[in-house]
Amino acid sequence: MESDLPPVFRVLAPDIQQLIGTALRFSVPNSNVSAQDALTLCDKALEATKAGTGLPWARAVAGICLLRGQIFERDQKSPRLPDALASYDRGIALLQREDRDGAANREWAVLWMNRGNVLQRTAGEGDAAKAAESYDQTIRSLKALAPTDGHTLSTLGGAFLNKGSALQRLNTPEAHTEALGMYEQALQIFTAPPAGFEEHFARLVVASKLNRGTALLAAFGPQRAQEVIAAANEVVGAVEAFSEKDAGAGDMAMRGRRLACEAAGVLLQAAPDPAAPELADWVSVGTDNAEAALALAQHWDRQGMLGFRPAVPWFLHFGAALYAQRQPQFLGEFLVETLDSATTPPAWKGAAQLKQIALEMIERLRAHLRSQAFQELGGETAEQANALIAELQDAEKRLALPPQTATA
């Protein structure tokens, strides 16, 4: 019998507990239990328990269904989301009974939470709405328990957080506004952590602020974009000291910097006066965050952590476009520093996608400068434009870009 088995399974026969204990080792690092082996053990346990009755039996079998669904989800070779969903639904059906007590309500809530998470990972029509409904079940069940323990509060706050994400997938003004309420309720929970949960809740506060900022920008655009920048700065400030040591903190910093860039871009696009003095501040927000994000991605790339690479084209394109439009004298320097400096990872230097972004931005700016020089022949503006064109040609040579190609 497995002495460390969760209490919910201890009502089952010792041989069934042994099956479940072995299946649970699937999630242990370096375990020799494969996903298929763990599923086979769960199926044997379900077969052996199918004739039981009573709430303790229902809780135990629902626990097996939960474990089985998690194994389907976590199979690295081939996640089977429909099978995971069916397993969670089976567990929910077992606990849909009038004599459900507080402990059973917690398990019921976790099953609904997992169900919502699976629906979040699928792309079918209506799945986001169904996910939000699943999180509602979790929220209602756990709020009724008036929880004070860290584990239950974490699940409750996570349900608010995940429901907000599901609502944002609906991408309507009403859904974004409702999502804001979800994030605010999550923050109320996470900003008052029970003892022992301070570090865990601090990470959840950061995630909630990021999602809330995204919803604010989607719902209100430039009206509250400065508030979004402030929130993004809070996020980056909370994780920046650890962003080069902990990949999770690095990811949060990248997300915070992207949110700040997006908010600055919205403000710049919406500005009625292109010469307004505050535009310089918003340009700095965008360029500073793009450069810092690319430097962080370079750091992790040099450590062999390649998970940051997908964000690189976005930040390179955003930063280059902003420099080309607002501070063209710095475009060549930005591109060279990012793609051909002592800290640039070798893989970046030959990446076709990154070179294409650089080439496109140089070509667009050069075309604009040539037009400017032509219109101001012999003037100071023409001299400045021609000097910048020469700098762009130097950048092309450094980056080994094919010169004088047509704009893509």
Instruction: Give tens-digit pLDDT for 87-114.
Output: 999 999 999 998 899 999 999 999 999 9
Buried b (16+ CB within 10 A) or exposed e, 64-97: bbbbbbbbbbebeeeebeebbbebbebbbebbee
User: Given pLDDT bands bounded at 50, 70 and 90, which one contains residue 388?
Assistant: confident
For the segment 8-24, the average pLDDT, to the nearest whole number, is 93
Going by pLDDT thresholds of 50, 70 and 90, the confidence category of residue 373 is low
Of residues 286 and 79, the one with the higher pLDDT is: 286
pLDDT band at 396 (very low <50, low <70, confident <90, very high): confident
Mind listing the pLDDT tens digit for each residue in 165-205?
Answer: 999 999 999 999 999 999 999 999 999 999 999 999 999 99
Confidence of residue 381 (pLDDT cuts 50, 70, 90): low
What per-residue confidence (pLDDT) applies to 2? 46
What is the percent of the chain with per-residue pLDDT over 70, rounded to a whole number? 94
CA dist 381 and 27 (Å) reads 65
**pLDDT of 16 higher than 50:** yes
Put simply, whether the predicted model's pTM sits higher than 0.85 gets the answer yes
Q: How far apart are the first and last CA of the chain?
A: 66
pLDDT of res. 165: 95
Condensed to tens digits (0 to 9), the pLDDT of residues 46-84 reads 999 998 999 999 999 999 999 999 999 988 777 899 999
Structure confidence by residue, pLDDT tens digits, 121-143: 987 768 999 999 999 999 999 99
pLDDT at position 378 = 52
Residue 408's pLDDT is: 33
Per DSSP, the three-state class of 338 is: helix
DSSP state of 406: P
